[in-house]
Structure 1
Amino acid sequence: MVTTKDIAAHLQLSVSTVGRALADDSRISEQTKARVRQAATELGYVGNHAARMMRGAPSNVVGLVIPDIRNSFYFTIAHELSAIMAREDYQLTLAETFDDRLIERRHLRELSASRAAGVIIAPTPNPHSDSVNLLRGMPHVQLLRRQPALGSHWFGLDDRRALDDATTHLLDLGHTRIAYIGAMSDLPTGRERLDGYRQALRKKDISPRSDLIELGPPASPEHARDAMRRLLDGPKPPTAVVLGSVLHTVGVLDCLLELGVDVPTELSVVGFGDQSGLSWWGPGLTTVSLPIGDVATSCGLWFVRRLNNPPAGNDPYESVSVGWIVPRGSTAVPSAASRKRSA
């Protein structure tokens, strides 16, 4: 490993002069700084960030703590934030929790121990008290999910409205037996989406039925496949289904393809998220499109500005973005076949 001693020997300068030049010390001339930087590049020198932090230099690491990178929402977020952090001379580091509060605590301990500049987090359903305390000591912002115990800075979606709109789309087509497959209600996003589904039904004087609601882990396509089978095998199958998770959407589409269900003749489907390929699926999937990239970009730019210019106070801040329905071929008025199955 190339050290400052190697650069000093190469340039016949003192080690202290090389160190000050690399630290952009005003006591060193611009000409000498340029020589040192050029030599450092040619020799392959990599600065010891830990040593600089011990001398009081701030960390440039920002932690992104998310449940599951397989969800297209989160890999979109990681991509957008990585680009923003690179432009602003920060380094994004990724940590997956799999919605395990103990894994989340471990990641936050490591980020705190490494004196990370800050944390962007989609928290687990019930964060550990240690995680709450750790985040109090670090600049942080919540993304998509929001837990009141973790502070009042949040960028997210109007999940309630998204599912209200999705369900209303099916109601306007004439469906009344509409099933919902989504995340558990102990997740803030899961609770809001379930409330949106129920809200749409009540506006049409339809009482939500527990036998048409299937809740489970949001990152489990397997749960969605099993849930769809149960709903279709029931004594009164739904004529339509609305989904409240990206991976649940994937699971349900796999299930319908495997069972040979004719969409939308036998069942109308509204998905969640508009990831690549859904417009090609079968007749094209009607879905809720959400501005995840815009949310991530807004969050990243706001957070970097806050890191670079720390505010005097800690005033609450939240940003809520709204999705929209993309109508395609997977939804239609209830057919005679679907009405007969649900009768």
Structure 2
Amino acid sequence: MSTSAPRDARRRSVRLSDIAEQTGYSLATVSKALNGRADVSETTRQAIDAALRDSGYTRRPTTPKQQRLIEVVFEDFETVWALDVLRGVIAEAKQHDLSVTVTEGGTKQHPDPSWLDGVLRRQPLGAILVFSNLSKTERTKLKARNIPFVVFDPSGDPSADSLSVQADNWTGGVIATRHLLSLGHTRIGIITGPDYMMCSRARLDGYSSALAEKGIPADPTLVTEGDFTTPSGYAQAMAMLENPNTRPTAVFAGNDLQAMGVYEAARQLGLRIPEDLSVVGFDDVQTAAFMGPSLTTVRQPLQEMAGAATRMLIQATRGETPSSVILPTSLIVRNSTRALND
């Protein structure tokens, strides 16, 4: 006599409340574990999963992944820099009939903790994390749901098992500083981004290397740290430029937003650009060419980088193994720099 029918009936009758009673966890915790929520410890998840398997509980089919959606995660979406990145993602996604959604929150180092729960519910084709990286546990959970991610312009060294896209920041720092040196400047100030960000350190290293090529030691009084915003560029430039006896003749701003702050500081101090002060930025955002005067800057190919990140996600979903990418930077010479003795 077959016993399969009674066994199947018993399996179908198992409820989450039974699992909660068996494991000693609350019904809410059991439900969270079943749905892959991020706020459940790995030990708890394993205990509940074991109880589910032993009881013969069958998970209900989940909603099919929305394969036509890419999620882009920004710390904030308040700058033209972020807009350039999004334009690059949209342009590439359009070629593959994909939609794009934007999430805002968290810090440059890590997305908001609630993001993981949201992305597991939304089930996008993949995610592009601007600046951010994820913990090992978060990466494991995304991998379990087959949601690949790419770190865009990582704030630190990306993990070996993470995909990333970035620009050649060291070379960018070198060519910006070499340009100013070629114009006769030797007192060159630099306003970096946050020290914890890899791109900031690389640009500063490039600056120092270019000075060393000419036998010029880096002057610590000409090196100051900003946060990649216009207000920080303004504040650091005011401190660097207010004393006429110690001010540099040129400033390499860590990005174009900080260069805008340098322009305002120079205006308030009565300094003309480039007659009294040469300025170089970094990024070449769309507004750089329309500043007064137009800004000499290092072009970071933001839209191309974003397109590359999007293609990497698509390749990953096809079972391919894309490699992390570093794209070249180039100097765009405009009207904010001039020879020191002209």
Indicate the residue corresponding to 2:334 in structure 1: 328
Does the 8 Å contact 1:65/1:97 carry over to 2? yes
* Unaligned runs of at least 5 residues, structure 1: 1-51, 337-343
Indicate the residue corresponding to 2:20 in structure 1: none
Q: Judging changes above 3 Å, is the alpha-carbon distance between structure 1 residues 53 and 270 closer, same or farther for their aligned structure 2 residues?
A: farther
1:237 to 247, 255, 262: 247
Task: Give the distance between the partners of 2:153 and 2:227, measured in 1 at CA.
Answer: 16
Shift of 1:215: 0.9
Shift of 1:231: 0.3
**TM-superposition CA deviations, 1:192-220 (whole Å, max 9, x none):** 111111111111111112211111222x2
Indicate the residue corresponding to 1:284 in structure 2: 294
Indicate the residue corresponding to 1:162 in structure 2: 172
Q: Judging changes above 3 Å, is the alpha-carbon distance between structure 1 residues 279 and 61 closer, same or farther for their aligned structure 2 residues?
A: closer
**TM-superposition CA deviations, 1:281-326 (whole Å, max 9, x none):** 334321112222222222212322322x123xxx571222112112
Q: Judging changes above 3 Å, is the alpha-carbon distance between structure 1 residues 133 and 162 closer, same or farther for their aligned structure 2 residues?
A: same
Amino acid at match of 1:331: T
**TM-superposition CA deviations, 1:73-104 (whole Å, max 9, x none):** 32112122123334424332112235265653
Shift of 1:129: 5.6
Task: Give the distance between the partners of 1:194 and 1:171, measured in 2 at CA.
Answer: 15
SS at match of 2:208: helix
Does the 8 Å contact 2:65/2:124 carry over to 1? no
The question of 1:319 aligning with 2:325 is answered yes
* Unaligned runs of at least 5 residues, structure 2: 1-59
Q: Judging changes above 3 Å, is the alpha-carbon distance between structure 1 residues 321 and 221 closer, same or farther for their aligned structure 2 residues?
A: same
Indicate the residue corresponding to 2:118 in structure 1: 110
Indicate the residue corresponding to 1:78 in structure 2: 86
Shift of 1:162: 0.5
Correspondence list, 1:1-343, <5 A: 54=62, 56-97=64-105, 99=107, 103-124=111-132, 130-137=137-144, 138-145=147-154, 147-149=157-159, 151-218=161-228, 220-234=229-243, 235-307=245-317, 309-311=318-320, 317-335=323-341
**TM-superposition CA deviations, 1:84-133 (whole Å, max 9, x none):** 33442433211223526565332233112332321111234x75565454
Task: Give the distance between the partners of 1:230 and 1:110, measured in 2 at CA.
Answer: 43
Tell me how large the CA RMSD over aligned residues is.
2.6
Q: Judging changes above 3 Å, is the alpha-carbon distance between structure 1 residues 58 and 265 closer, same or farther for their aligned structure 2 residues?
A: closer
Task: Give the distance between the partners of 1:71 and 1:269, measured in 2 at CA.
Answer: 20
Does the 8 Å contact 2:108/2:130 carry over to 1? no
Q: Judging changes above 3 Å, is the alpha-carbon distance between structure 1 residues 189 and 134 closer, same or farther for their aligned structure 2 residues?
A: farther
Q: How many residues align?
A: 279
Q: Judging changes above 3 Å, is the alpha-carbon distance between structure 1 residues 53 and 119 closer, same or farther for their aligned structure 2 residues?
A: farther
SS at match of 1:107: helix
Indicate the residue corresponding to 2:9 in structure 1: none
Q: Judging changes above 3 Å, is the alpha-carbon distance between structure 1 residues 331 and 317 closer, same or farther for their aligned structure 2 residues?
A: same
SS at match of 2:128: strand
Amino acid at match of 1:318: S
Q: Judging changes above 3 Å, is the alpha-carbon distance between structure 1 residues 284 and 84 closer, same or farther for their aligned structure 2 residues?
A: closer
Indicate the residue corresponding to 2:43 in structure 1: none
